[in-house]
Amino acid sequence: MIKIYHNNRCSKSRCGLEILEESGKEFEVVKYLDNTLNKEELTDIIKLLGISPIDLVRKNEAIWKTNFKNKNLSDAQVITAMVENPKLIERPIIINGNKAVIGRPPELILNII
């Protein structure tokens, strides 16, 4: 089943949700700010995306700028930062089987559904 890791306050995430709704396919909405991801889940998502952990970080968030910017962090430390501060996770993330994409721009979602 398709999953969208969603933040309703984010316009790109809302657009991603709309694309999934219009597709007519079944999907699950994961509100990752309410149901936070653990290290294993986040690591699995990063592997599916085929990116480095730092590429999933929202670097303009105040939390990042205040606590982590310009620090030489390991991948494990970046993952820990996102687990402890889920606002740092880029959104939306859509997973369909063994494929995943960050919906920025939202049209990228069409490539995996």
Residues with a known catalytic role: 10
What is the distance of C-alpha 64 from the center of its chain? 16
Q: Is there a contact between 88 and 46 (Cβ–Cβ < 8 Å)?
A: no
Measured at the CA of 31, the angle between CA 59 and CA 17, to 5 degrees, comes to: 90
Q: Distance between CA 15 and CA 33 in Å, rounded?
A: 18
